Amino acid sequence: MLKLIASSRIHRVHPTVLRPAHHSASPLLRVLSSLGGLSWRNANVGGRYFFCSDSSDGSDHVVDAGVQAAEESESKASAIVPTYPRPEDYLTVLALPLIHRPLFPGFYMPVFVKDPKLLAALQESRERQAPYAGAFLLKDEPEADPSVVSSSDADKNVYDLKGKELFNRLHEVGTLAQISSIHGDQVILIGHRRLRITEMVSEDPLTVKVDHLKDKTYNKDDDIIKATSFEVISTLRDVLKTSSLWRDHVQTYTKHIGDFTYPRLADFGAAISGANKLQCQQVLEELDVYKRLKLTLELVKKEMEISKIQESIAKAIEEKISGEQRRYLLNEQLKAIKKELGLETDDKTALTGKFRERIEPKREKCPPHILQVIDEELAKLQLLEASSSEFSVTRNYLDWLTALPWGEYSDENFDVTRAQKILDEDHYGLTDVKERILEFIAVGKLRGTSQGKIICLSGPPGVGKTSIGRSIARALNRKFFRFSVGGLADVAEIKGHRRTYIGAMPGKIVQCLKNVGTSNPLVLIDEIDKLGRGHAGDPASALLELLDPEQNANFLDHYLDVTIDLSKVLFVCTANVVEMIPNPLLDRMEVVAIAGYITDEKMHIARDYLEKTTREACGIKPEQVEVTDAALLALIENYCRESGVRNLQKHIEKIYRKIALQLVRQGEMIDATMLPIKDKVDSDELGQNAVQNKNSELVEGIDPEKESETSDEIHKVQSSDQSQCLEVAKESGGDKEIETKTIEQVLVDESNLTDFVGKPVFHAERIYDQTPVGVVMGLAWTAMGGSTLYIETTFVEEGEGKGTLHLTGQLGDVMKESAQIAHTVARRILLEREPENPFFANSKLHLHVPAGATPKDGPSAGSTMTTSLLSLAMKKPVKKDLAMTGEVTLTGKILPIGGVKEKTIAARRSEVKTIIFPSANRRDFDELAPNVKEGLDVHFVDDYMQIFNLAFDDEQSQNIK
């Protein structure tokens, strides 16, 4: 009803039609009128007017008033049309269905009539000066929920009801309503009195017979009725304090009401409440005044609760809004004050000033097309609203553009001698890499400037590829930046995101330039052989533009959308396996292979670099520990046999951690020993009761632990090469006492190495001192470096025509084919040497490569397999301390192999004296360092018969063990 009141049109009743309220104001009326402090003389009242006829016998006044209104005005716009018959004379009326709420006596209600016949009948009745109809509430459908508001579609269906169907849907009790006015399809009704339908007279339009209902008699002086009515009024007073809408209704009603009676009070409360239509219909149907008042009291009480909730919601929202407004106003005032004082400018001006100030020092060096873009974006920033999303995008874009080091280069140092010294300080060996860097510096010195190149360092893990990049940057006096592309599957990480995306950022290289602040840094791209490939493109292809010297002078980042000159950047890439790098990318690189370190190099690295770094990290002084050469050699040979030195560093750290714990325990034991001596000196010489325990000096370089261990946890380590002694010297000099504590250094030797690093991980790769018949040592290359590999062949069974070869050892396809080729070549050579020997034709053989759990593949085992087969066939062992490598063809030619350095290192590790290499690898061997080639007897062959003669020496073949 509240919604209906708020949305309905305002209809004014002619003043002569309405009875002035002050002529017959009862005490009850005066109480109600005092609820909102209403003025009786206020004529400008907005809202709805209420009809004032008495439901019992006051209709004649209404008629008289209507006649006077007709005399004074010729217009038909008056609210009440004069009628000669009295309302109670109408026993047959047109039935008007009400959809949303019932009409109470004394109230206006606009009704929309969609039925043309019914509208015409109402117009005709009004013109016949019989302007009365019956307003009846429409029942809900049986399955409908009355608390749920019906949709417009449902309303349309209601308007379609006609005749008998409409009659069955109407509530029996309704209201006799005067037709005040008709505007189009809107009919203004004024409720008079209650009616009850008795029967249907006609269907279209629906006309029904009615009985006029009167309230049951009641005692006006009944205390219960009075108390109930006063409670209704009291509740209305409380509601009026919170709801201005209710206040308008009460003011309008009391302005034009007649004698205010208890029934009218009940109707008034129910009519203006927000109760649903069924509850209002229940009040309308109730003829017992006391029960009607009780029902109304329930409705206004519920309205009171709703008003309280409304007030609390309004208060909470008002507090929130007022707090935010106050904060906003204060901030705006603060900005205005600061701006007046010159302490601060507005956001856009400050941002523009910051960007201009940042780019100003670089303006002379900055390319013109970059300056043009920056100026355009700054102008655009001034036109944008600070709250728009485009503003933040432009601000971030300008932030990146102005932060990049346009035209700024670090001064390079082209001193070759200094560079040589720095490279030697950081790394031992690696002659190839150092020479390449020195060449680069020399070219830069002659030209006066340097161009960026792409150097790819390939080699097994732990050989120092990443740290070499850092050393090169230090030698060249360039800034260093490293990022890894291992597993990278998104092209945007390299080329940047478009600015239209949320969270867009430039690529890695642009981030690098911003971080280092120069345009000629050294960029280390790690793990380039482990590039991924996902749904977001192929990063390997995206790297082509970055690394290609012909293209990177105009590198285009998607985010910046301007070209950047990367031609002065020195790119250093690292990879474990060069074959995994895509060929177009590999073609743009200069590959420098790092094969790994031999034992001698590892010894130098451990002594000069690893041991020193670890000792400092553990807080141990050089004089406190001694690790013998024998211990380091055993550590390298038995624990850290791989090509790199990362695992060696871990083992050295493990040794020094245990030494640190041992030294700390010894220091605590010395403190415990010194405690009683110190106490005695303090008490005797100084005469103090309190004992002061002040240790003048802790063990040098040891960090004291916060938690001390008990004497039960202190263990003394006693061995032949490891001891400790305690020297205490007391010197009296005044009131001071000097104590000197000395811990003898810890000695790590081969005998006690297992106490620090556990049992050996590797055993000697060399299984045989003299290889037996059918066994030959080969040389293999792995990603971890080189290793020796035995190939064993044994006889299974003999039978006519059973010449077969069975292979095991998890061999790849290439090695399986090598074995078949070796079998054929061995049969041919045996046939030439011993024509009468049918060994291969009648023997079932088994060839095995040990360590069956390790996959093996590669084209360098053919000569070794052939030699193994021939050794078994001729029952001759090969020469002692011999290892060979090389692929053999069906005609007996030996093909070149790779990994010469790794295989040579593996041979030295196994104490092999004689090595057989293909002739094509002579140049690779000559390039090796002298300490790698020292003591080796190397033979270069291009035909297998040369290997045969070397392997099956007559003198050695007699020494069969």
701 sits in the region (left: phi over 0; alpha: psi -120 to 50; else beta) called: left
- CB 727 within 8 Å of CB 742: yes
**Pairing relationship of beta strands 775-782 and 625-627 according to DSSP bridges:** unpaired
Cβ(74)–Cβ(241) below 8 Å: no
Q: Is 804 annotated as a binding residue?
A: no
DSSP for 758-794, written as a single string:
-S-S---S---SS--TTEEEEEEEETTEEEEEEEEEE
Using CA atoms, how far residue 780 sits from 184, 527, 789, 856, in Å, is 104, 24, 6, 9
CA dist 18 and 256 (Å) reads 6
Give the pair of three-digit tokens for residue 160.
Answer: 């379609």
Binding residue per annotation — 283? no
User: Active-site positions?
Assistant: 860, 903
| DSSP three-state, residue 250 | helix
- DSSP code of residue 920: G
> Would you say 47 is a known binding-site residue?
no
How many CB atoms neighbour CB 210 within 10 A? 23
Q: Residue 767: name the closest of 789, 744, 800, 752 by CA.
A: 789
Q: Is 405 marked as binding a ligand?
A: no
> Residue 8 contacts by C-beta under 8 Å, 6 or more apart in sequence?
48, 108, 110
| Euclidean distance between CA atoms 736 and 728, whole angstroms | 15
Residue 465 counted as an annotated binding residue:
yes
**Burial of 588 from C-beta contacts in 10 A (0-12 / 13-18 / 19+):** buried
> Quick check: 813 and 857 in contact, CB under 8 A?
yes
466 is in an annotated binding site: yes
Q: Where are the alpha helices (DSSP H) in 342-459?
A: 347-359, 368-383, 389-403, 416-426, 431-447
3-state secondary structure 61-89: HHHHHHHHHHHHCCCCCCCCCCCCCCHHH
Tokens standing for 531? 């590039």
791 DSSP β-pair partners: 776
Tokens of 895: 């093909």
Q: Judge whether 503 is annotated as a binding position.
A: no
Residues 6+ apart with CB under 8 A from 794: 774, 845, 846, 848, 872
Is 464 marked as binding a ligand? yes
Contact 912, 905 (CB under 8 A): no
Binding-site positions for ATP read: 459-466
